[in-house]
Amino acid sequence: MSRANGAPRPRPGDPPITPELVEDHGLSPSEYELIVEIMGREPTFTELGVFSAMWSEHCGYKNSKRLLRLLPTTAPWVIQGPGENAGVIDIGGGWALAFKMESHNHPSAVEPYQGAATGVGGILRDVFTMGARPVATLNSLHFGDLEGARVRYLLAGVVRGVGDYGNCVGIPSMGGEVHFDRGYEENPIVNAMCLGIMRCDELIRGTAEGVGNTLMAVGARTGRDGIHGATFASEELSEGDDEASRPQVQVGDPYTEKLLLEASLELIASGEIVGIQDMGAAGLTSSGAEMAGRSGTGVEMDVARVPVRAEAMTPYEILLSESQERMLVVARAGREEAACQILEKWELEAATIGQVTDRGTFRVLEDGVPVAEIPALPLTEGCPAYERPGEESGEVRALRAQDISRYGELSGDDLRVAFLEVVGTPAVASKQWIYEQYDTTVRASSIERPGGSAGLIRIPGTDLGVAASTDCNGRHCYLDPRSGAAGAVVEAARNVACTGATPLAITNCLNFGSPLKAEIRHQFREAVLGIRDACAHLETPVTGGNVSFYNETDGKAVYPTPVIGMVGTIADVANVVGHSFRRPGDAILLLGHNRGELGGSEYLYALHGVVAGEPPRVDLEAERALTRCLPAMAARGVLGSAHDVATGGLAATLAECCLGRPRTGWPVGASLHLHDALPPAALLFGEDHGRVIVSASPADEAEVREIAARHGVPCTPIGTVGEERSSLRIHLRGESLELPLDLLADRYFGAIPRAMDDEP
């Protein structure tokens, strides 16, 4: 194949490299100079395309990698930290858990159904290319206000896309979150997370090892989809962009994905291959270059051998296409036939396109004629990293400083009405309409399905359970990115701990506006520091993640939204704790204490249209104690239920504890006495961190209190579980509310269906 050894020359028809062309490729003049220096010559058009993809924000992390280095990434249980397709941790019993989260915000804004679907496809591939079988997904969605017709269209399309893709591949959804706030009006956030399991010794890395080994393109054919998708994902959307973006819509094919999944796992188990990688963003370019870069070898491929779907594709197009459901496989020399047999069984197309070399370069031929040759390491690692200073926006500082105390005072019927309204805002209301479109029970391992505190699945054939939760309150992050991001970590940890599982590690998806703005850089830096502090305290290292910048339209950025995906384990799923009250007569206890922090709350937003105040403080020591205390209680079997307090405050949590899941028996009432000296609305709707509502039988109450005391967690009895189909009664200083359960259920379960069901 190396019959032509000369240096690549421009192809006929290549445009000349001008400063404008360089700029169109998203490269700065100084970056271009660096490229020329690396190459020792001017790059060809094809090479420029390759650099532009690899040095885009999406692949090159140029505005984030310095800060990301601050994150804690190690712990004895971490097998694979950041840098691979997915992070991997040891979860005991010889099992390893691979997990990762990714964003598909821009594609979902352009075409919600395909954008979300292909997002799920990509994250599944990241997990199964590590050798792990995907066992569950989660998703984190942030939209504008649900009143808007476009938001409803986006929500309906995104949910259908997430569902259709994961359902077809047969991966259960175990949870997620959905927020609604005008901060996301133009730019929805669509993040998907996947968890996979494998035996610890089955781990495979995305490397191209062994000179002479064979590169194979496997799966779907390469078309002209999403060329420059990687750069596109890194550029702000602007008015009138729809037209230009059209060819960049990629269509997902979950059926081919399912075949790829089975074939990949069989290939890995067979030992016929040494490496495998998804052709994700920047397609063949990033998969080839990264595999070469990681193993310090080189690769050579001939684009004429790549199976294509469209006619007359140029090397530039083939290298940069983002057609979905494709993989690059490195087969052992001499074992190609055996690998092909496995692929044939799964009805997948495979083509030999090149080999591993010792040239240290990413080398591309077209029908034997060299068209690109770039040193692999500088291509993957040499992208310049920027860390320009940030500065907080004065507007945000002013919002945070606003006095919101007057909103805390409410009484009588106003308080009752507010309670019902908070429980019925789309952000708080049940997400049943959404998660019932996701298969949540396939694989017959779902112990805690969506609708509770966190999802939890059992590893088949064992008692071992894996819990996961995705969380981020973007409004809190907007008002204070550091405490907001730390809050996302502790909320996710609390959700996991409520099931009885011990939080172990996180992945993340950092969704921000343009890093070219000082205020966004400030947000990003603060958020990373918040995650760093929280993860360090909770001993939940970061094993991977994703950065999505440029989530802006016409200069207006989304709220800073660092979504956290937390995973944890429980040794015996028999000890898993549900979120809702179970037995009349059980004691209800509050772990942590009420502070009445209304800043950035759903109550202020939904009832007063206000986004202001100091968001809830995060006490990392208290959170650490709380997330250790809950698994200890669960292991003793003394909890009837546990549910954390977050969006919507105590009101939302208590309503959920009473209402339980839809379609599973009747809701149960409760009677509560809250003695805190706080304004009533602040007490009921404040989103103060560090709180969990638990219930326990009268016989177990003492032990619950004792375990809490041992962990230094405040534990206050606040009431008793009532009868089925009765009401939720709350007495606070001078006020008393009675909320019939059928009314609460109507608000909580009815809000999103009422908004959505008229949609086509």
Partner 1 sequence: MSRFRVEVLVTPRPGLLDPEGGAIHHALASLGYDEVAEVRVGKAIYLEVAADSAATAAARVEESCRRLLANPVTEDFTVTVRGEA
Partner 2 sequence: MRIAVITFPGSNCDQDCHRSVEAAGATAVPVWHREISLGGTDAVIVPGGFAHGDYLRPGAIARFSPIMTPVVEFARAGRLVVGICNGFQILCEAGLLPGALLRNRSLRFQSHDCALRVERSDTPFTSRYREGQVIRMPLAHADGNYYADRGALEELESEGRVLFRYSDAEGESTEEANPNGSLNRIAGIVNEGGNVLGLMPHPDRAIDLALGSQDGLPLFESLVDSVHQRTPAQMAAAEGRALAGTAR
Helix (H, G, I), strand (E, B) or coil at 79: strand
Counting residues that bind partner 1 (by CB under 8 A) gives 25
435-474: contacts with partner 2 (CB under 8 A): 435-447, 458, 460
Beta carbon of residue 435, minimum distance to ligand ADP (angstroms, whole number): 4
- With CB under 6 A as the contact rule, the residue among 451, 503, 596, 631 that binds ligand ADP is 451
Find the part of the chain contacting partner 2 (CB under 8 A) among 43-51, 105-113, 658-666, 714-722.
658-666
Site for partner 1 in 741-760 (CB under 8 A): 758-760
* Geometric angle at alpha carbon 711, from 707 and 713, rounded to 5°: 90
CB closer to ligand ADP, 46 vs 470: 470
* 3-class secondary-structure state, position 668: strand
Residue 247 interacts with, from ligand ADP, partner 1, partner 2, none (CB under 5-8 Å by kind)? partner 1
Residue (223 or 451) nearer to ligand ADP, CB: 451
Residues 181-220 that bind partner 1 (CB under 8 A): 220
Please enumerate in sequence order all residues whose Cβ is within 8 A of that of 454, keeping only pairs 6 or more positions apart, or say none: 175, 448, 467, 468, 469, 495, 496, 498, 499, 501, 566, 568
Residue whose structure tokens are 């994250």 = 123
Alpha helices (H) in 27-88, listed in sequence order = 29-39, 45-54, 57-60, 65-68
Helix, strand, coil shares of the chain, percent, nearest 5, are 40, 25, 35
What is the C-alpha to C-alpha distance for residues 290 and 100, in angstroms, rounded to an integer?
Answer: 18
- Tell which residue, 236, 258, 218, 24, has the closest CA to residue 133: 258
Nearest of 598, 737, 586 to residue 657 by alpha carbon? 586
List 31, 111, 290, 687, residue binding partner 1 (CB under 8 A): 111
Residue pair 131/737 in contact by the 8 Å Cβ criterion:
no
* Site track for partner 2 across 91-120, x = CB under 8 A: ------------------------------
> Measured at the alpha carbon of residue 602, what is the angle toward residues 598 and 603, in degrees to the nearest 5?
65
Distance between CA 753 and CA 606 in Å, rounded? 18
Residue 471 vs 656, nearer CB to Mg ion:
471
96-104, 159-167, 413-421, 725-733 -> range binding partner 2 (CB under 8 A) = 159-167
For residue 496, what are its two tokens?
């996991």
Choosing from 112, 144, 172, 175, the residue that interacts with ligand ADP (CB under 6 A) is 175
Instruction: Give the integer Cα–Cα distance in Å for 648 and 605.
Output: 10
Of 316, 307, 312, 314, which is closest to residue 352 (Cα–Cα)? 307
CB of 562 to Mg ion, least distance (A): 14
Asked if 307 contacts 348 with a C-beta cutoff of 8 angstroms, the reply is no
Structure tokens at 695: 């219930």
Stretch that binds ligand ADP, among 174-182, 316-324, 325-333, 406-414 (CB under 6 A): 174-182
Q: Cα(467)–Cα(580) distance, rounded to whole angstroms?
A: 17
450 near ligand ADP, judged by CB under 6 A: yes
Site string for partner 1, 315-344 (x = CB under 8 A): --------xx--------------------
Nearer to ligand ADP, 259 or 652 (CB): 652
Residue holding tokens 């106003």? 414
Least CB distance to partner 1 at residue 344 (A): 14
Q: Which is nearer to ligand ADP, 133 or 689 (CB)?
A: 689
Question: What is the DSSP track for 367-378?
Answer: TTEEEEEEEHHH
Between residues 258 and 332, which has the closer beta carbon with respect to partner 2? 258
How many residues can be counted in the chain? Answer: 760
| Contacts of partner 2 in 241-270 (CB under 8 A) | 253-256, 258-259
Please pick, from the candidates 108, 187, 495, 507, the single residue that binds ligand ADP as defined by CB under 6 A.
495
Binding mask 392-431 for ligand ADP (x = CB under 6 A): ---------------------------------------x
Q: How far is the CB of 163 from partner 2 (least distance, A)?
A: 5
Distance of alpha carbon 43 from alpha carbon 36, whole angstroms: 7
- Give one DSSP letter per residue of 525-591, joined into a string: HHHHHHHHHHHHHHT--EEEEEEE---EETTEEPPPEEEEEEEEEES-GGG---SS--STT-EEEEE
Residue closer to partner 1 (CB basis): 349 or 746: 349
- Residue 498 and residue 453 in contact, taking contact as beta carbons nearer than 8 Å: yes
- Which is nearer to partner 1, 245 or 697 (by Cβ)? 245
Q: Does 249 bind partner 1 (CB under 8 A)?
A: yes
Task: At 391, list the tokens.
Answer: 């500065």
646 forms part of the interface with ligand ADP (CB under 6 A): yes
Of 46, 173, 207, 551, the residue at the interface with ligand ADP (CB under 6 A) is 173
Q: Does 250 bind partner 1 (CB under 8 A)?
A: yes
Cα gap 441→425, rounded to integer Å: 28
Coil, strand or helix at 56: coil
Q: Is 176 in the site for ligand ADP (CB under 6 A)?
A: yes
Alpha-carbon gap, residue 281 to 391, rounded angstroms? 31
Taking the least distance from each CB to partner 2, the nearer of 438 and 549 is: 438
Considering the complex, what minimum distance in angstroms separates the CB of residue 203 from partner 1? 31
Q: What is the 3-state secondary structure (H, E, C) of 139-207?
A: EEEEECCCCCHHHHHHHHHHHHHHHHHHHHHCCCEEEEEEEECHHHCCCCEEEEEEEEEEEHHHCCCCC
State which residue, 181 or 272, has the beta carbon closest to Mg ion.
181
User: What is the distance, to the nearest Å, from the Cα of residue 222 to the centroid of all Cα atoms in its chain?
Assistant: 27
The item of ligand ADP, partner 1, partner 2, none sharing an interface with residue 251, based on CB under 5 to 8 Å by kind, is partner 1
| Per-residue binder mask for partner 2 (CB under 8 A), 203-242, x = binder | ----------------------------------------
Candidates 419, 435, 559, 748: give the one binding ligand ADP (CB under 6 A): 435
Q: Which of 71, 50, 659 is nearest to 321 (CA)?
A: 50
| 656 near Mg ion, rule: CB under 5 A | no
Distance separating alpha carbons of residues 225 and 246, to the nearest angstrom: 9
Contact between 346 and partner 2 (CB under 8 A)?
Answer: yes
Residue 573 binding partner per list partner 1, partner 2, ligand ADP, none, with a CB distance cut-off of 5 to 8 Å that depends on partner kind: partner 2
Pick from 84, 177, 336, 644 the residue near Mg ion by CB under 5 A: 177
Interface with ligand ADP, residue 641, by CB under 6 A: no
Stretch that binds partner 1, among 244-252, 279-287, 373-381, 478-486 (CB under 8 A): 244-252
Query: What DSSP assignment string belongs to 429-480?
Result: S--HHHHTTS--STTS-EEE-TTSSSEEEEPTTSS-EEEEEEE--HHHHHH-
Q: Is residue 644 a contact residue for Mg ion (CB under 5 A)?
A: no
The binder of partner 1 chosen from 142, 179, 224, 522 (CB under 8 A): 224
Structure tokens at 284: 């063949």
Among partner 2, partner 1, Mg ion, none, partner that 177 touches (CB below 5 to 8 angstroms by kind): Mg ion
Residues annotated as part of the active site: 58, 104
Residue nearer to partner 1 on the CB measure, 319 or 535: 319
Q: Which of 191, 514, 647, 726 binds ligand ADP (CB under 6 A)?
A: 647
Asked if residue 223 binds partner 1 (CB under 8 A), the reply is yes
Binding residues for ligand ADP, per CB under 6 A? 139, 141, 173, 175-178, 431, 434-435, 438, 450-453, 455, 471, 495, 644, 646-647
Binding residues for partner 1, per CB under 8 A? 110-111, 114, 220, 223-225, 242, 245-247, 249-253, 255-256, 309-310, 323-324, 758-760
Binding residues for partner 2, per CB under 8 A? 160, 163-164, 167-170, 253-256, 258-259, 345-347, 435-447, 458, 460, 573-574, 662-664
